Amino acid sequence: MTGHDDGKDSGEGDAIKVFVRIRPPDSYDTDIGQVLALKVLDETSLVMNSKPESRVFTFDKVADVTSTQESLFNVIGKPIIECCVSGYNGTIFAYGQTGSGKTHTMLGPCEDADNFQHELRGIIPRSFENLFNNVANEQEMNKGKEFLLKCSFLEIYREDVFDLLEPSNRGLHLRENMKKGVFVEGLVENAVTSAVEAYQVLNSGWINRRVASTSMNRESSRSHAVFTITIESKEKKDGVQSLRVSQLNLVDLAGSERQKDSNAVGKRLKEAGSINKSLSVLGNVINSLVHISHGKTRHIPYRDSKLTFLLRDSLGGNAKTHIIACVHPSSKCFGESLSTLQFAGRAKMIKNKIFEEKLIKLRDQCNKKDACLQSTKMIVKF
């Protein structure tokens, strides 16, 4: 979503918040007494045990191996969701090498709807519960306010956009306009009226992702998965109906590891190349934004990859953004963990420019087909 003049500015820009989560070592590592590459110093810092000298990193929070899914959600998820319900855009994304705990953190082990209440459920299912609770509270305080929540779920694989809610929908294009900002043309959006329904949408998309990874040879560790909830709220003030639209993006990124297999040929090489491209453009975007934060003007290469174009408003734009950098503590992962922490350290220096999404006065918009559509059915059941 793009910002607009009549959106309320929340202040002098908001730094992207960066959290680090260290997953538990593999039992194999502990059995053979594998040395750990990093050590938590306190709630916000950790040290990488490198030679000749150790390196200390500081973040908004460092979650050690004992951190629970619930405590992590309270720190990382809750504040963003509250903002989204009040009309701001929000994005949470997990970055790190394959096996570092991104999917565990975002989704958890509950890959089927019956496991919705699993205590290890991750940030995405917890977001649904919190979001609907927040919406209910908001409606309690403001009786005339109505909400419509819609979910979409896509995968970016080798710079191709696939709709996980409608597998025949592939090769989708990113577009941009004044009203919607950057959006995916033709992407299915399912209206949801409860956390359980949202969970069912997530679950069906996740199953499609797994099916594609086996039947179509699409390796999920090499793709980016983006779950988006669009929140529309309608209220009447001083006799004028208005509509506000905000978005929450929940992103499980592809593994950030460098391609080591120098024998990779053909499709595998192309695959590795494009994954590297997407994540390396993400790195370039972050670097450029850091330069801008330091007062230097620079072109930001958002359009160089699908991922960065889609996340444009979350990176330096109009969104509250939390990044979870996931790391494996084993010394055999030292190089990848160091590069994840360096990426995270740079991202921490970016300030987003945040304002509430514009209120669309429905009376002014009633000849616009979709604004009218949005205004006609907007009931959320609890």
| In the complex, minimum distance from the CB of residue 24 to ligand ADP, in angstroms, rounded to a whole number | 5
**Torsion from C-alpha of 340, 341, 342, 348, nearest 10 degrees:** 110
| In the complex, minimum distance from the CB of residue 89 to ligand ADP, in angstroms, rounded to a whole number | 25
Q: Which residue is nearest to ligand ADP (CB)?
A: 101
Question: Which of these, 197, 195, 87, 198, lies nearest to 132 by C-alpha position?
Answer: 195
**Residues in region 216-245 near ligand ADP by CB under 6 A:** 221
CA distance linking residue 303 with residue 281, whole number of Å: 9
Question: Contact region for ligand ADP (CB under 6 A) — 12-20, 99-107, 199-207, 284-292?
Answer: 99-107
> Is 58 exposed, middle or buried (CB count within 10 Å of its CB: 0-12, 13-18, 19+)?
middle
Q: Which of 103, 134, 208, 247 binds Mg ion (CB under 5 A)?
A: 103
Residue 234: how many CA atoms within 13 Å on its side-chain side?
Answer: 18
The residue count for binding Mg ion (CB under 5 A) is: 2
Q: Which does 87 bind (CB under 5 to 8 A by kind): ligand ADP, Mg ion, none?
A: none
Binding mask 315-354 for ligand ADP (x = CB under 6 A): -----------x----------------------------
Reading the block at residue 286, the tokens are 């972050």
- Under the criterion CB under 6 A, does residue 99 sit at the interface with ligand ADP? yes
Helices (H), 49-194: 69-72, 78-85, 102-106, 123-141
Q: Which does 326 bind (CB under 5 to 8 A by kind): Mg ion, ligand ADP, none?
A: ligand ADP
**Residues in region 147-166 near Mg ion by CB under 5 A:** none
Task: Give one DSSP letter per residue of 92-119, joined into a string.
Answer: EEEE-STTSSHHHHHT-S--SGGGTT-T
Q: Which of 8, 9, 13, 24 binds ligand ADP (CB under 6 A)?
A: 24
Q: Which does 205 bind (CB under 5 to 8 A by kind): ligand ADP, Mg ion, none?
A: none
| In the complex, minimum distance from the CB of residue 68 to ligand ADP, in angstroms, rounded to a whole number | 9
Would you say 376 is a known binding-site residue? no
Answer for the pair 55, 47: CB distance below 8 angstroms, yes or no. Answer: yes
CA distance linking residue 346 with residue 261, whole number of Å: 28
Q: Which is nearer to ligand ADP, 165 or 324 (CB)?
A: 324
Would you say 98 is a known binding-site residue? yes
Any bridge partners for residue 351, and if so which?
15
Reading the block at residue 377, the tokens are 């059915």
CA distance linking residue 218 with residue 102, whole number of Å: 18
Q: Which is nearer to Mg ion, 60 or 252 (CB)?
A: 252
> What is the binding site for Mg ion (CB under 5 A)?
102-103
Annotated binding residues, written as ranges, equal 96-103
> What is the binding site for ligand ADP (CB under 6 A)?
23-24, 96, 98-104, 109, 221, 255, 326
